[in-house]
């Protein structure tokens, strides 16, 4: 191997390792925010949890505000990618709506960690313009997926909604957020499992579909396919 090729390979490995280390720090930071809030995500606390030195974390993010912003963007990118995978998996518009509602509870990240993070970020957004803009971006993208699925369902004559598509999409995202707060804090004896059932029934009624049929539809197909 020539010296030039060896240098290029070394640089490539180093760049890859740096990217992996940065992502690992962001994963730990999102966990810290979920448990302790934005204010609790200090370099010292993150170092304690992750095993990375404070100097190493500062090397990647310089100051705390940059770390918080990067963590939010990291979780947004992950959420958007997962949402698109869920959306594309459905065979028709009703399956997509059903899956999106279910995913809001049963995503790749455990419910308590996922919603603990977003609720802390929502709270911080009230006083932080940059975080508020990031929250607006992710909620807009989430709502857009519902708009797309609802428009498809309407075009396919699969529903009889009482409200227009945009209003329904806004209602869905609002109800998801509200039920997540209740489930995360066990208000009204709420649980993630109960949240899924409530979402399915609420959506079915708003869409003019039999709630029992809609609640069983995708789940029964998944079970039958196993």
- The CATH number of the domain holding residue 203 is 1.10.357.10
Position 67 in a domain: no
169-221: per-residue pLDDT in tens?
Answer: 999 999 999 999 999 998 999 999 999 999 999 999 888 888 888 877 665 45
Supply 207's token pair.
């869409």
120-133: per-residue pLDDT in tens?
Answer: 999 999 888 989 99
Q: Are residues 139 and 219 in the same domain?
A: yes
Range of the domain at 133: 72-225
Phi-psi region of 186 (alpha: psi -120 to 50; beta: other; left: phi over 0): left
Q: Are residues 55 and 80 in the same domain?
A: no
Are 207 and 217 within 8 A, CB to CB? no
Separation of CA 77 from chain center: 9
Q: Are residues 48 and 90 in the same domain?
A: no
Are 37 and 123 within 8 A, CB to CB? yes
> Which value, to the nearest 10 degrees, does the dihedral of the CA atoms of residues 141, 147, 148, 149 take?
120
Separation of CA 53 from chain center: 28
For residue 5, what is the domain's CATH number? 1.10.10
Separation of CA 191 from chain center: 18
Q: What's the average model confidence in pLDDT over 57-68? A: 93
Supply 150's token pair.
């609802």
Position 38 in a domain: yes
Residue with tokens 């049929």: 213
Quickly state the pLDDT bin for 4 (edges 50, 70, 90). Answer: very low
Position 107 in a domain: yes
Are 141 and 80 within 8 A, CB to CB? yes
Q: What's the mean per-residue pLDDT of the chain?
A: 86
């Amino acid at each position: 191997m020539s010296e030039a090729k060896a240098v290029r390979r070394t640089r490539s490995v180093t760049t890859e390792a740096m990217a992996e280390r940065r992502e690992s720090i962001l994963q730990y930071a999102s966990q810290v925010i979920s448990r302790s809030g934005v204010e609790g995500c200090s370099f010292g606390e993150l170092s304690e949890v992750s095993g990375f030195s404070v100097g190493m974390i500062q090397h990647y993010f310089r100051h705390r505000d940059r770390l918080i912003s990067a963590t939010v963007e990291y979780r947004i990118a992950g959420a958007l990618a997962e949402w698109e995978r869920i959306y594309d998996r459905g065979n028709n518009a009703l399956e997509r709506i059903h899956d999106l509602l279910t995913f809001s509870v049963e995503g790749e990240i455990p419910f308590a960690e996922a919603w603990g993070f977003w609720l802390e970020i929502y709270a911080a957004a009230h006083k932080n313009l940059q975080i508020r803009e990031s929250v607006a971006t992710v909620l807009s993208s989430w709502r857009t997926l519902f708009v797309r699925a609802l428009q498809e369902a309407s075009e396919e004559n699969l529903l009889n909604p009482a409200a227009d598509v945009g209003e329904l999409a806004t209602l869905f995202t609002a109800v998801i957020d509200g039920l997540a707060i209740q489930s995360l804090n066990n208000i009204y004896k709420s649980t993630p499992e109960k949240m899924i059932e409530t979402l399915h029934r609420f959506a079915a009624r708003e869409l003019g579909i039999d709630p029992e049929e809609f609640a069983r539809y995708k789940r029964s197909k998944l079970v039958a396919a196993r």
